[in-house]
Amino acid sequence: MTTQNYAKGLEGVIAAETKLSYIDGEKGILEYIGIPIGELAEKSTFEETVYFLWNGRLPTKPELDGFTGAIRSRYDIPAGVEALLNTIPKTAEPMHAIRTLVSALGLHDPKPNSIDLPTIRDKALSILAQTPTLLAYFHQHRQGKPFTRPDKSLGLSENFLYMLNGKRPTPAMTKALDVCMILHTDHGLNNSTFTTRVIISTESDIYSAITGAIGSLRGPLHGGANEGVMRMLNAIPSVAASEAFIQEKLAKKDKIPGFGHRVYKAYDPRATHLKVLAKQLAHDTGHTDLYEKSTAIEAVMNREKAAKGIYPNVDFYSATTYYCIGLPLDLFTPMFVIGRVGGWSAHALEQLAHNRLYRPDVDYTGPHGVAYTPIEKR
């Protein structure tokens, strides 16, 4: 037994220094390099937010134009990865598919293991640009449809929706997805971001780091809650039935998807902006019942659980937002991947700039001095 402090799940343990995002869970504050998340959601774009995180400052117009142009020029995926994509079973889960395909990008990089910062940044730019293409192609592949090729005149969010559905999205849908991407880009040392930093700290490659992060995000305790929210909304027959449904769940001590957060003990600031988006999109697309069910659920939870610091998190209203812009349920978590690639890459760059290999201690609780028993005596 060691004399060191042990924190199950590493709660309260500071494992890294970062300038990328700041969270005050008690006050419901999230900032990217000092700028409140609401400012970025209202005024920025996903591409500008990624530039901001990668460079530590907002770009000038020429810099942003160059950055967005570089992303658009890399939308196309390698032919070998496209060939691999066509062999994936159409019944495969999208998170397994996107994890495999991102990893496969490294097979077509002539120097996948280079880890100097300019090279890592260049590779991360390609992964950022190509991940939406991989996901859109996989979705069309499993439907037996021909691929809708990227339109390099479009920004990342608009181009993704265009490739996914084969038609141009409305400006409201494009803006909604772009805001979702901004809100999902970074969030402190969450599990998948920690995974990124752990892997890159070994001086492994960026493909391995991002692939590992996707594997982490796939877990329902991290990135899959918005799917649970949508299933819950679909299971409630009407707005009027919402309260009874939730009260029954609470009586059984069931968890309510989309409520509570490991960090926030106040209203998740990301949920604030997604609530506004969800309301507008639900109205625009004829799904006001989903929004009204959501607000009815929130009202019940506020009465029953707000005193305990349990409020809607980012997943609660993102479910309605994603549904209204036409995303299938099982693409909700992969959308998280597209947004988070920018943040994961920023953390990889930050880690490598002042790297030290992660190697925590462990508290051994097993026996000592045990004699080996020969197999004939067991």
Closest CA to 187 of 354, 26, 339, 12: 339
Residue type, 374: P
pLDDT over 90 at 223, yes or no: no
**First vs last Cα of the chain: how many Å apart?**
29
pLDDT over 90 at 114, yes or no: yes
Closest CA to 214 of 88, 331, 338, 329: 338
Looking at residue 164, what is its pLDDT? Answer: 95
Supply the residues annotated as catalytic: 222, 261, 315
Q: What is the pLDDT of residues 174-183, one digit of tens each?
A: 999 999 999 9
CA dist 76 to 67, 118, 343, Å?
16, 21, 22
Looking at residue 3, what is its pLDDT? Answer: 52
Contacts 24+ apart (CB under 8 A), 21-27: 21/186, 21/187, 21/188, 21/343, 22/188, 23/187, 23/188, 23/263, 23/264, 25/261, 25/263, 25/264, 25/265, 25/266, 26/265, 26/266, 27/266
pLDDT over 80 at 65, yes or no: yes
Closest CA to 307 of 265, 264, 358: 265
Looking at residue 271, what is its pLDDT? Answer: 87
Could you tell me the pLDDT band of residue 102, with boundaries at 50, 70 and 90?
very high
Mean of all residue pLDDT scores within the chain: 94
Could you tell me the pLDDT band of residue 314, with boundaries at 50, 70 and 90?
confident
Same topology, domains 36-222+332-353 and 225-324? Answer is no
Instruction: State the chain's maximal CA–CA distance in angstroms.
Output: 77
Exposure string (b/e) for 233-247, b if CB count within 10 Å is 16 or more? Answer: beebeebeebeebbe
Chain centre to alpha carbon of residue 137: 19
Cβ-in-10-Å burial (0-12, 13-18, 19+) of 137 comes to buried
What fold is seen in the domain 225-324?
Answer: Cytochrome p450-Terp; domain 2 (1.10.230)
Return left, alpha or beta for 369; rule: phi > 0 is left, psi -120 to 50 is alpha, else beta. Answer: left
User: What is the Cα–Cα distance from 306 to 260, expressed in whole angstroms?
Assistant: 9
Beta-carbon count within 10 A of 192 CB: 25
User: What is the Cα–Cα distance from 343 to 354, expressed in whole angstroms?
Assistant: 17
Residue spans per domain, the chain: 36-222+332-353, 225-324
**More confident position, 221 or 52:** 52
Token reading at 2: 């060691």
Q: What pTM does this model have?
A: 0.93
| 8-state DSSP, 43 | H
| Of 29-43, 150-164, 303-317, the least confident | 303-317
pLDDT over 60 at 1, yes or no: no
CA dist 166 to 137, 213, 344, Å?
11, 29, 29
Residue given tokens 């925590």 in the structure block: 360
pLDDT over 90 at 262, yes or no: no
Token reading at 25: 């869970």
CATH tag, 36-222+332-353: 1.10.580.10
**More confident position, 263 or 109:** 109
Give percent above pLDDT 70 in the chain.
Answer: 99
Looking at residue 2, what is its pLDDT? Answer: 52
User: What is the Cα–Cα distance from 312 to 316, expressed in whole angstroms?
Assistant: 6
pLDDT over 90 at 272, yes or no: no
Looking at residue 263, what is its pLDDT? Answer: 85
**More confident position, 227 or 206:** 206
